Structure 1
Amino acid sequence: MYKYAPRGFVFSKLKLDLDLEFININDCFFYYEQDLDFRIKKSRDGQFILLIGTFLDIRNTTSSIDKSMDALFESLKSNKMHEELDFYSGRYVIIYYEEGKIKALSDATSMKSIYYNDNFNIVSSHFSYFKKIDESITLSALEKYRLTKCKRGYKYGYPGFYTPYKGYRILPPNFEINITDKNIQRFFPREGLLQDLDVNEIVADIYLYMSNQIKSLINMNKKLYSSLTAGVDSRYTLTVTKDFEEIQHFTYFYDGNKIHLSDVNWSKIISKILKLNYFVLDVDGEFNYSSVDYKNYSLNLRNNSVYGTHAHRISFAYSQKFGSNSVLIRSNLYEIGRQFFSDRLKNINFDRNSAIDLAKTFTYLYDKNLLGSILVQDVFLEYSKTLVNNAIYNYDPIDLFYWEHRMGIWHSLVVSETDPAAETIVLCNARKILNLFLSVTPEDRQGAVLFKHAIQQYLPELKNLPINKILDDVYDSFDVVLKISEDYIDVSIYEAEDSDDHEYAFYVYLNNKKIDTKWYSKANSLRYKMTQPGVYAVRGFIKKQDNVIVAKTSNAARYLGSIKNLDINELNSSNLVEGRNDIRTSNYIFNTFYKKGTSSKLTVLLNGAVGDRKKVILPVFQRYSWASEIEDHVLNINDPTLELDKNLRLGWYLGSKKFPLLPEIREVILQVAKSLNISIGDIVIYGSSGGGFAALNIAAYMGNNIKSVAINPQIQIKDYIATSTVNLFYEVSGFEYSDYHTSIIDVIRSKENDFKGLIYQNEKDVHHYTKHFTPLLEALNIGTNNFIHSNIKYIIFNDPRGHVGESKNMFSELIATVRRQ
């Protein structure tokens, strides 16, 4: 339990008269509540790190707090602590000693607050501690202005990191305070922001970073609750939380609020589809707010935890519903990843390099009714001076204002209200993740494309459910979900509320043509055996008691047909069938999809990264529907490397160091070509991104004038933007960074004129253009008189969408182009 404030602390240069436990650290005093988690690590020379709160390494789930402290301490000694902290989420404060100075900083969005005073060498987690220390506290000029002239509440915290009390402030995110001299210094950003990244490249990394946090919390034996609504941010959190049965999802509502009730109705449907552990929290109906218990609870909140009122009733409801050792997973911070202020700034001209212009703009965004207040503008001017003169590199000051003020101040106050009930976590609260949010194009950020892409990838069951739509009649809302299991489709109709009076019917479609009907019955599910390859979908119908009928069509799913199993040594033209062929070699089974052609040429199609392995069913055959665009025989090959680990999304067709894939895929391609009487010079190997890397690599390995096309390829695996995928690949494959076939630069240098390659590169794919394509040009002197590989050609195109593939029309043109080389 806590005495004053939940999980609270005070760190002071002087001994204080506080009725709390304390320890001495370097002649300072650290006071703490009994329910506070903290760790301290020291060295003999006086250097120390004091870690306070919940600290989660987003890179893995095996690192204990002690191991994280060791890594943090080592980074401090090497002057790289701030870089290391980019990879930690949670809700924490760090106080550390370095070069004679004691400094304090908070997590990425200051969810765990740091209060300080201009006159004291003290920092604390709650302002209420200062009320017990300082008997001369008076109202600040900002608070007096609010009470006398403004006569309205300040929205989203007090302007410019101030509080209602004179001399007392709250430390914003990305700043640290020197407790000795009370100097405030920005420590982030430290370098420029990667820009215009493609959402496809970073969605998987973010998913892994967020998933690791939940696994760590489960390992800590925390009771986990996750708030669920109809909004995009909540659904983004759900992409991860839905995988953990340990999490209780819930939706609260009160005051008969229409939006809250709509949240409840949508969430009921979602919870049924995903089979979530779910409950509804009726804030008004379940609890008595005229009781002495609630009045004491609210009074204690105001006296010890917060100096405002946001939603005390919800906090009380949480405290009654949740047990001890609970963690509440919220979703508010995702707004940082969207251009939340973009519409409000459309017709406003201001200089982003002018501190005065920024201060006026911040005042307008904070509350346009305060534009006439010089006092408020001066407060924001103090902050805006930290954003100019290249202090934030290429970051947008408006983005940092939303991050550091709206979320760094207002959100931390909101979170503090629920502290008596539970610790609060937001899964994106790490600078590494927030940086990735800000790195996609402005258009994608404004449209929440990253979030929606993740939702589509990790929640395909919810494809038909709208986001942020008010649901008035719950009985008119339902969803039809289709899944493929071997040769069957399984279809279910989910409703927000069950009804024994409803009957259900189904139309089955193949390639958009109705092929079967199941008439009305009480069964709200259907199992249907597929007999032909193609795209299947089902339209579901509900007949209600009043004979009103509503209908909706399911998601579509593609069926590739039955499988022919072949041994590589038995493969010939008579037993190679159109459709699925699984070809067995010495160490691998190559899942393939073959389309018979009319020419004497063969095109081999390779995959790039696949989607979430929890959702994607292998094998995958990307672009196989494009085979009809060319006359060639076409062979799609799934990458067996993915079988090395259930989470691996990309293997670059390399297999493992123990069993290299290149010799065996070479054998498969040559044997298929031989069975079709196709010469090696008439083979084109084609792929995009990771598949483009593989196309170049395999062609170089096979030699003999074989041809390849690579769309926006990786060039060196170690530079792939999805670092979690890179690390997992090297871990499970046994390869090392220095191994020959993990770098196309090394491969091409050794092959010279032995194969032909065509690279089709989008210059708007910033990461691949700058980190892969350009280094290849420079390393091989491509485009100069010293170009050492005359058979590598490239075409640069311009597509503002970034890391996207070619069009279907360009597919056949590129194959024709490389055949002419």
Structure 2
Amino acid sequence: MPRLTPYPRGFVLSRHAPPERSVPGNFHSLEVAGGWHFSFDPLRTPSVCVDEVTGRFILTHGTCFPVGEESVVDVSAWLLQKLLESEDTFLDGLDLLAGRHVVVAGDATQASVYQDAAGARSVYYSPGAGLVSSHAHLIHDLVPHEPTLTTLRPTGAANTWDLSPWAGIRALVPNHRLVLGTWEVERFFPRQPNRYAGWSTRRKLSAIEAMWQRELDAFTTAFEDVVVSVTGGSDSRVVLAMARRHLQVVYGFTYTPGKNVRSRRSKRLAQDERIVGELRDLLPLDHRFFSRDDTGVTSSPELSHLMSRNSILEHGRWLIPHYNRAFPGDDVMHMRGNAFEIGRAFRDPRPHNDTIEDIRVHYAQRAGVIATDSGTPALNVEQHAYFDGAVQRLGYHDDLYGYHRLDLFHWEFRVGRWLSEVLNETDISFDTFLPVSVRAIFELLLSFDVADRRDGFAYTELIDRNFPLLNFFGKNDDRNLYQQVRDERRSDIRRKERVNAWLERGLRLSGLPGTPGEEPVSQPAPGPNHLFLPTDRFIEGYSATRVIGHAPVDGSLQFRFRSTYAFKRSLGRFEYRLMVSGQTLLRTDGAAWPYDTWVTVHNLRAEDTIEVQVVALRTMSKESWSRATHAGILDLSYTPMAPKGAPRAVSSNPYAETSPWTNHVAATRDETASDSAAMSVTGTMN
């Protein structure tokens, strides 16, 4: 049933009991080791074990299952025994914990707080208020805080290390512990070189499988209702393959966009629906689709209010009423295929980019603002100061024992923040566990070399070893394995027939005739495939151009044009043009179409020049307009071919138009006196 109470599965930890009027009325409370006060939603009762001799204690709250070879009845007692033995033994125990939980370890005078491997259980803390909690809003309820500077938040507080919407309230990130009293954050992983680096592939995969199966055995035994979200992607496929023995007792669901398939996300969901529709015939799974068009499910003001307080981001709130109707049990557990990217080479780690400055570049890509002079993201003063403090606070300057900083950065900066807030949002319907979220499993996945991680080798192998037929269906691809191999073979044949095309270096900037900017000015492009109009050139009639070079033979050109900006109210500010030997073949408003466009130019002669331009239709002074023009010219290919007439272009962009000066099919060049005046233009190709 829906948890229509504030902060489901939440908690508050403090030295002294917070005012009763501020803590949610459904919360229960207990004293721990004579020194700590723990308030909690009773749906998850904490487990506490205290050593009578030393006064040391362990508190676990949430779902928490060890997946090592030891048989464990009481997790808190098991962890306490390890803590009494040594800190390293205790930390090794934490590396084997599955689930979504918080662990508090210490005594009456000092304690440390840990979270699960992926940081799926959000943990926030306020040194000024002396509070630790599962939810940022809950701390702010107890002790109001000033908002975080807006200059720090372009990337979103749920995506940025330890930022929260309030100054003075910070988030704990994976692989770190919070020391209560001093309020310092200490990195505890990695603490040695990767323990599995020297293992064979077979041994690594067998170890992952063993831990994963113990985890699934524990969760399907502890929870009567286990549901799994099924998509068309690779991560979901791994979850299904590894859960093969348990699928008969698991419920599945897939959400779909319904009839409204316009945005990039809705198209992706529609693809999921098609792929899952084929997959589910093979799965012994009680499965259903949730459609956004379903008018039988509605939200309520009370539900909307609770969702807005449970999470600091909004991800998929329209799904909550669907979940509540489909899975009305008192304590449903959702098995979700997230956090796999921690084991991938998501940030392209290489030997030369394992530095603090490389982390800064990735941070700036999310948090920075495009600089007009360079076309690359830049940080403001406050962001620079925050970044420097965060990398120092979180130990990125320390010896990381061979682990790549970009791997840890993605784990801690992005996954450990965004994902926890998504799960806070769905807590109203059910709890969630991520089967891959065991630190030992992450360590095993990170022990594969970068090339294998980039290709998802370990994940594909896990599918092949446990449910090989699932590898046959495409992953985020409507084609099955046979069709992909067939098409790749055909592509190889076509590639052999093609001659390369390329983008000439630099951006050509031109002004209005008769002005000082009339003569083209060359400027380095911000990227090898990049086109954009700088802010100081966003003047009516001014343009920026990339020239496409090609082999000196007659032929046909194909390329992919990527522009992600679209806003109906912004039409008429700038446009993109395709030029051949000085004449416009295609043009489209820059705010009309935010998807990839395939363009083909037929009947080219060896001497033709080809240009792609962005042109200002009005003078706009704000830097955001320059950002809107950023586009990419990708996948260039040139096929030698005898021309059959004048140049013509076709495009998959439904808003692309012919130039107003020619609406007819021109004669071939051989039939006219002027090549440039006779060029033909087609309309769009859907």
TM-score, length basis structure 1: 0.53
Between 225-234 and 310-319, report the one with greater CA deviation.
Answer: 310-319
**Do 2:242 and 2:463's aligned partners in 1 also have CA atoms closer than 8 Å?**
no
Q: Which amino acid aligns with 1:118?
A: P
| 3-state SS, counterpart of residue 50 of structure 1 | strand
CA distance in 2, matches of 1:468, 1:230: 5
Secondary structure of the corresponding residue to residue 294 of structure 2: helix
Partners of 1:73 and 1:180 in 2: how far apart?
A: 21
Output the CA distance in 1 between the equivalents of 2:368 and 2:438. Answer: 28
Q: Which residue of 1 aligns with 2:160?
A: 159
Counterpart residue number, 1:391: 399
Aligned twin of 1:252: 255
Provide, for residues 692-731 of structure 1, a one-character-per-residue CA deviation record: whole Å limited to 9, x for no partner.
Answer: xxxxxxxxxxxxxxxxxxxxxxxxxxxxxxxxxxxxxxxx
Distance 1:387 1:451 in 2: 30
Hey, what's the Cα distance between the residues in 2 that align with 1:366 and 1:210? 36
Partner of 1:78: 85
Q: Does 1:382 align with 2:389?
A: yes
Please state if 1:325 is matched with 2:328. no
Q: 1:367 to 1:270 in 2, by over 3 A?
A: farther
| Superposed displacement of residue 96, structure 1 | 1.6
Partner of 1:459: 467
Aligned residues: 456
Please show how residues 273-352 of structure 1 align to structure 2 within 5 Å.
273-285=282-294, 287-289=296-298, 293-303=299-309, 305-322=310-327, 323-342=329-348, 352=354
Question: Is 1:13 aligned to residue 20 of structure 2?
Answer: no
In 1, distance between residues paired with 2:152 and 2:99?
A: 36
> Alignment partner of 2:38: what SS?
strand
Q: 1:412 aligns with which of 420, 424, 430?
A: 420
Give 3-state SS (helix, strand or coil) of 2:281's partner: helix
1:24 deviates by 1.4
Q: 3-state DSSP class of the match of 2:293?
A: helix
In the TM superposition, residue 351 of structure 1 has moved relative to its aligned partner by 5.7
Report the residue type matching 1:312 in the other structure.
R
Instruction: Determine the C-alpha separation between the residues in 1 that align with 2:70 and 2:368.
Output: 42
CA distance in 1: counterparts of 2:368 and 2:461, whole angstroms: 33
Residues 458 and 170 (structure 1), Cα distance of their counterparts in 2 relative to 1, 3 Å cut: same
Q: What corresponds to 1:126 in structure 2? A: 135
1:269 maps to 2:285: no
Q: Secondary structure at the match of 1:274?
A: coil
Q: 1:363 to 1:197 in 2, by over 3 A?
A: farther
Deviation, 1:259, is: 1.7
* Residues 446-455 or 186-195, more deviating: 186-195
CA–CA distance in structure 2, aligned partners of residues 335 and 192 of structure 1 = 21
**Structure 1 position 164, deviation (Å):** 1.3
Task: Give the C-alpha shift of residue 98 in structure 1.
Answer: 4.6
Check conservation: 1:115, 1:125, Cα contact below 8 A.
yes
Q: How does 1:68-107 map to 2 (within 5 A)?
A: 68-79=75-86, 80-98=89-107, 100-107=109-116
- Amino acid in the other structure paired with 2:343: G
Normalised to the residue count of structure 2, the TM-score between the two structures is 0.63
Query: How big is the shift at 1:43?
Result: 1.6
Shift of 1:470: 3.5
- Counterpart AA for 1:279: R
Counterpart CA distance in 2 for 1:124 and 1:458 is 39
Q: Which amino acid aligns with 1:258?
A: K
Q: CA deviation digits over 1:305-333, x for unaligned, max 9?
A: 11221111123322222122111111110
Would you say the 8 A contact 1:14–1:28 is kept in 2?
A: yes
Give CA deviations for 1:221-272 in whole Å, capped at 9, x if unaligned.
Answer: 3310111111111111111122211111221112432221221222122221
Q: Which has the higher contact order (CA 8 A, sep 6+)?
A: 2
Name the residue aligned to 1:170: 171
- Relative to 1, partners in 2 of residues 1:390 and 1:126: Cα closer, same or farther, differing over 3 Å? closer
Alignment of 1:700-739 (within 5 A): none
**Is the Cα contact below 8 Å between 1:231 and 1:468 reproduced in 2?**
yes
- 1:365: how far off? 5.7
Q: Which amino acid aligns with 1:455?
A: I
CA gap of 1:47–1:387, structure 2 versus 1, over 3 A, is closer
Deviations 1:466-499 (A, max 9, x none): 222046xxxxx8999xxxxxxxxxxxxxxxxxxx
Larger Rg computed on CA atoms: 1
Change (3 A) 1:221 1:389: closer
CA contact (8 A) 2:460 2:471 kept: no
> What is the identity, as a one-letter code, of the residue corresponding to 2:338?
N
Letter in 1 for 2:340: Y
1:4 paired with 2:3, answer no
> Which digits, 9 at most, give the CA deviation of each residue in 1:182-215, with x for residues without a partner?
1111111110114375433222221221121121
User: What amino acid is the match of 1:105?
Assistant: Y
Shift of 1:358: 3.0
Aligned to 1:200: 202
Alignment of 1:599-618 (within 5 A): none
Residue by residue over 1:529-560, the C-alpha shift from the partner in whole angstroms, topping out at 9 and shown as x without a partner, is xxxxxxxxxxxxxxxxxxxxxxxxxxxxxxxx
CA contact (8 A) 1:2 1:35 kept: no
Whole-angstrom distance in 2 between the partners of 1:174 and 1:158: 16
> What SS does structure 1 have at the residue aligned with 2:79?
helix
Amino acid at match of 1:179: L
- The 1-side partners of 2:237 and 2:482 are apart by 16
Per-residue Cα deviation, 1:615-662 (whole angstroms, up to 9, x for no partner) = xxxxxxxxxxxxxxxxxxxxxxxxxxxxxxxxxxxxxxxxxxxxxxxx
**Amino acid of the structure 2 residue aligned with 1:176:** R
Q: Residue 245 of structure 2: SS of its match in structure 1?
A: coil
> Are the aligned partners of 1:5 and 1:33 in contact in 2 as well (CA < 8 Å)?
yes
Please state if 1:223 is matched with 2:230: no
Q: Distance in 1 between matches of 2:400 and 2:174?
A: 14
Is the CA contact (8 Å cut-off) linking 1:236 and 1:455 kept in structure 2? yes
Distance 1:357 1:442, change over 3 A: closer
Contact 1:109–1:408 under 8 Å retained in 2: yes
* Residues 181 and 74 of structure 1, relative CA distance in 2, 3 Å threshold: same
Question: In the alignment, is residue 28 of structure 1 matched against residue 31 of structure 2?
Answer: no
Distance 1:366 1:203 in 2: 37
Measured after TM superposition, the shift of residue 33 of structure 1 is 1.4
For 2:512, the equivalent position in structure 1 comes to: none
CA separation of 1:15 and 1:462: change in aligned 2, threshold 3 A: closer
2:389 corresponds to which letter in structure 1? E
The alpha-carbon distance between structure 1 residues 90 and 368, as it changes in their structure 2 partners (threshold 3 A), is farther
Deviation at 1:459, TM superposition (A): 1.8
